[in-house]
Structure 1
Amino acid sequence: MPNRQVNSWRYSRVMMTMLRCLLAVSYLWAMVSAAAVVPVLHGEKSTWLFWMTTVQYSLTYTSLLPFDGFTQGYILLVVIQMLTRLYQCCRCSFFGTSTNQNNVHNANIGKYDKRLLTYFGPYLVLFIISWLASIFYTSTTVLQIYHQQPTRNQTVLYCELAMVIIFKVLVLTNAIVRCLRGLIILKLFKLEPERNLRNYHNFGEHLNLFFQY
């Protein structure tokens, strides 16, 4: 039946929009968490023949951002704040089709200007500070291993630290690519015609354009 097909299509778009919003929040949270990951050096002493002592070093990983309610709540707050501004700049309906004829100068429509930093800035500052602090912490770990007595697994430790640095570079590269892509898309949205704008895309489909799920 046509009516049932229309309702089914509408409900599927609602579910996909909610799923893409959840994926966007999870992705942005994971990026900050990945930027805050740091290696921790541990040494285990073992004594044999009553006087000979050897030290075996190992690396574990932790986060500079504690997993408590305040810190994780703040991360989610700045993520939702940024997604809210993205929604305002997209000039689309959250779930369905948006017709925007004479109300394009509504205050709810986000402007492409320096005020974007008010909404995007807290998340970007949190990401940059976490990434720089983790790089500094990783470099201190490298110096600790260098000044320790040589051990049999020292080469393995250096390889693990190299993998951490490569991971950090990949995280930063991914963030830069997403930021540049987002700025270009927002610039294109600004150049859209302001009158008689009919947008058939919802916010979930725009998130798919920003983050490429």
Structure 2
Amino acid sequence: MPGQYINRKYTRSIMVILRFLWAFSYLWAMMHAAAILPIPYERWENNFWSKKRNYVLTYKSLFEFKMKTEMYVHVLVFVVLFSLYRCCQCRLIGARFMLPGLDRPSNKYRLMALAAPYWFAFIGTWTISTLITVWGLILVVKRDESDRTYVLIAQLIIAMLFKLMVLANVYSTVLRIWGYIKIFEKDSIVGQLNYNNFGDHLDLFFRV
């Protein structure tokens, strides 16, 4: 039985596109996850002799899902991926043979300069939404008079854990990217050939 024919050119092209879309979706999702916040809304329950104040928990986002806002987020994400591409100095699809001492990847300062707007936006959004979540937790503990106080507190604690998991995930990704960029710099100094394309590097950076 003849062996199966594999067109490696198109296979590598498709994998680069898929990994790019996955990395793009990851960065987009992390930005929106940082903007999610639970908000307790005050509500009064009328009894026969008195009124009782309670809170209902709803979830919102600091970002409004409008075309203009989404365009800003997409531009920030695209700039991060472009900065990674420039720092690796790899081929988009094919392999690039790096010459020792000449084809050195861009230094870490260029990566920080190009990707800084996204990371600053992420950190600022995460900080604001987390502070609002903490304030909501304090508000419920002090003012809620219903029988669902402990349920609301548990929901707010779960929201806080979610925010911490998002931060930890992004932090570990940034450290992994930084580590691989430094490895690429050392390999270029000793003349190590780089056969990877951009999709292969995205696989290393984001585990896609």
The question of a shared fold, defined as TM-score above 0.5 by the shorter chain, is answered with: yes
Q: 2-side partners of 1:56 and 1:146: how far apart?
A: 11
Counterpart of 1:164 (choices 153, 159, 162) is 159
The DSSP-based 3-state class of the residue aligned with 1:200 is coil
Q: 1-side partners of 2:52 and 2:145: how far apart?
A: 10
How far did 1:30 drift? 0.6
Q: 1-side partners of 2:127 and 2:27: how far apart?
A: 17
Q: Does structure 2 conserve the Cα–Cα contact (< 8 Å) formed by 1:100 and 1:195? A: no
Structure 1 residues 68 and 188 mapped into 2: Cα distance closer, same or farther (>3 Å)?
A: same
Q: 1-side partners of 2:44 and 2:96: how far apart?
A: 67
Structure 1 counterpart of 2:5, one-letter code: Q
Structure 1 residues 113 and 196 mapped into 2: Cα distance closer, same or farther (>3 Å)?
A: closer
The DSSP-based 3-state class of the residue aligned with 1:30 is helix
Stretches of structure 2 that go unaligned for 5 or more consecutive residues are none
Q: 2-side partners of 1:161 and 1:40: how far apart?
A: 9
Counterpart of 1:138 (choices 133, 136, 139) is 133
1:23-34 alignment, distance < 5 Å: 23-34=22-33
Give the share of equivalent positions with the same residue, in percent: 32
Equivalent in the alignment of 2:39: 40
Q: Does structure 2 conserve the Cα–Cα contact (< 8 Å) formed by 1:99 and 1:196? A: no
Structure 1 residues 87 and 149 mapped into 2: Cα distance closer, same or farther (>3 Å)?
A: closer
Q: Does structure 2 conserve the Cα–Cα contact (< 8 Å) formed by 1:39 and 1:60? A: yes
Q: Cα deviations across residues 131-174 of structure 1 (Å, max 9, x unaligned)?
A: 10011111221122123242100000000000011111111111
Q: 1-side partners of 2:11 and 2:138: how far apart?
A: 54
Q: 1-side partners of 2:119 and 2:67: how far apart?
A: 21
Q: 1-side partners of 2:66 and 2:171: how far apart?
A: 28
Q: 2-side partners of 1:188 and 1:28: how far apart?
A: 23
Matched, 1:202 2:197: yes
Q: Which runs of 4+ in 1 moved over 6 A?
A: none
Q: 2-side partners of 1:113 and 1:198: how far apart?
A: 20
Using the size of structure 1 for normalisation, the TM-score is 0.87
How far did 1:202 drift? 1.4
The number of residues matched between the two structures is 207
Structure 2 counterpart of 1:200, one-letter code: Y
RMSD: 2.4
Counterpart of 2:179 (choices 184, 195, 198) is 184
